[in-house]
Amino acid sequence: MSVLKSNKARWAMTGVVLVAGVLMWHRAPAEKGAPQAAKPALTVVTATLKSAQWQQTLQANGSIVAWQEAIIGAEITGVRIADVLVSVGDEVMRGQVLARLANDTLQANEAESQAALRESEAVLADASANAARIRKLFESGFVSAQQAGQAVTLENTARAKLDAQRARLKVSAQRLAQQNITAPDAGVISARNATVGAITQPAAELFRLIRQGRLEWHADVTADELGLIKKGMKVELTTAQGKRVQGVVRAVSPAINQQTRYGQVLVNLPADTELVAGMFAKGVFLAGEKTATVLPQSAVMLRDNSAFVFVVGENSHVLAKKIITGRRQDNLIEVVSGLSLDAQVVDTGGAFLVEGDLVRVAGRAQ
């Protein structure tokens, strides 16, 4: 019995060894094979920096104002306003009557001056005739030299009074002519204070006129930007309503405001723009074209307030590079620094990558 049990044990051990050998024989080829290659995390399209001619611009804010305003008042005071012929917004011509003053008092004053003039003429005629008669009597010895001198003095006095009365009549005629308040230039009425029945006062403003209807844009710019703006430069304005207007720089302020540290640029605007004085507008100064190195905006990502791109290395692993960006136009963005011209940048899909990821490049963006 002991011999039989020993034989069974040996056969069992032999079977285990044979099974283990077969398993190891089947497994050996797999272990000898090459290791499997890593799979790309993403298939990407790359882009490189390109040169583009972009318009160099400077942005500013400002207000629409009148080119020049004329303040119109009455040249004579103490006279009632009889009629007002224009209102705010009316276009007027040079010399057009804006308002009329009551002329009854003015006409009476002129008539009085004319009567006084005729009286002075009669007094002078009488004094001249009397002086001529006294001269003849003096030559004949019938009157004294003193009497002759008095006659001449009376004649000269009468002549002086006549001249003074002529001047008064001229003043009366001018006052009568000033009964009409007229426009000193063509333009648009921007303010009206004249009221029928009111009495004209010294230095009182009755109307305000935007001369020739011309408006301009006063832009506030920093000291650094002021040096870049030149007379004659083109400007594009955008109003709060979205209306676009083209203008031209008329003048550049030669000084900076000490409180605000801003300078002003005056921009001529074309007529018939439907703009209104006092409006706020944003503007862009077109400073000429300048070469820019650009990338598609889809290739640039923002993280922690910084811009960066993923650059594909020689081994197809991506590396994050921080860049400094500038202007944007359409779907492109300017790269100021931080990237070489030949760098292959991931165009799309960068948001799904992390530094060191393996990618497969499918092509280049056009």
pLDDT band for 365, please (50, 70, 90 cuts).
low
DSSP code of 40?
P
Domain ranges across the chain: 43-54+291-364, 59-67+214-289, 69-187
Query: What pLDDT was estimated at residue 28?
Result: 45
pLDDT, tens digit, for every residue of 241-281?
A: 778 889 999 999 888 888 888 999 999 998 877 788 888 88
Judge contact between 353 and 41, C-beta under 8 A: yes
Tokens of 45: 């399209």
Looking at the predicted structure, is the pLDDT value of residue 177 above 80?
A: no
Q: Is 28 helix (H, G, I), strand (E, B) or coil?
A: helix
pLDDT, residue 260, reads 85
Query: What is the mean predicted confidence (pLDDT) over 97-120?
Result: 81
CATH class of the domain whose range is 69-187: mainly alpha
pLDDT greater at residue 207 or residue 13: 207
Contact 57, 292 (CB under 8 A): no
User: According to the model, what pLDDT value does residue 327 have?
Assistant: 83
Let me know if the fold of 59-67+214-289 is the same as that of 69-187: no
Summarize pLDDT for 317-329 with one digit per residue, the tens.
888 889 999 888 8
Task: Tell me: pLDDT of 240 over 80.
Answer: no
pLDDT band at 202 (very low <50, low <70, confident <90, very high): confident
For residue 26, pLDDT beyond 50 = no
Per-residue pLDDT band for 163 (boundaries 50, 70, 90) equals: confident
pLDDT tier at 363 (50, 70, 90 boundaries)? low
Q: Which one has a higher pLDDT value, 23 or 245?
A: 245
Residue 22: predicted pLDDT: 44
pTM value?
A: 0.58
Looking at every residue in the chain, the average pLDDT score rounds to 82
Q: Is pLDDT at 21 greater than 80 in this prediction?
A: no
Q: Where is pLDDT greater, at 288 or 72?
A: 72
Secondary structure (DSSP) of 228-260: T--TT-EEEEEETT--EEEEEEEEE-SS--TTT
Range 59-67+214-289 classified under CATH 3.40.50.2300: no
Is residue 25 over pLDDT 50? no
d(CA 218, CA 260): 15
Name the more confident of 303 and 50: 50
In this structure, what token pair is assigned to residue 245? 């207007």
Q: Decide if domain 43-54+291-364 falls under CATH 2.40.420.20.
A: yes
Q: Is the pLDDT of residue 13 over 60?
A: no
Main-chain phi, psi angles of 144, to 5 degrees: -85, 170
For 314, the 3-state DSSP assignment is coil
Amino acid at 178: Q
Q: What is the pLDDT of residue 4?
A: 40
Residue by residue, DSSP assigns 275-307 as --TT-EEEEEEEEEEEEEEEEEGGG-EEETTEE
- Convert the pLDDT of each residue in 114-143 to its tens digit: 888 788 888 888 888 888 888 887 777 777
Cα first-last separation, the chain = 90
Structure tokens at 106: 């003015």
Q: Is the pLDDT assigned to residue 3 strictly greater than 50?
A: no
Residue with tokens 């002003």: 264
pLDDT (tens digit per residue) in 28-48 = 444 444 455 577 778 888 888
Say if residue 336's pLDDT is above 80: yes
% of the chain residues with pLDDT over 70: 88
In this predicted structure, what is the pLDDT of residue 168? Answer: 83
Highest mean pLDDT of the ranges 33-47, 58-72, 115-129, 146-160? 58-72
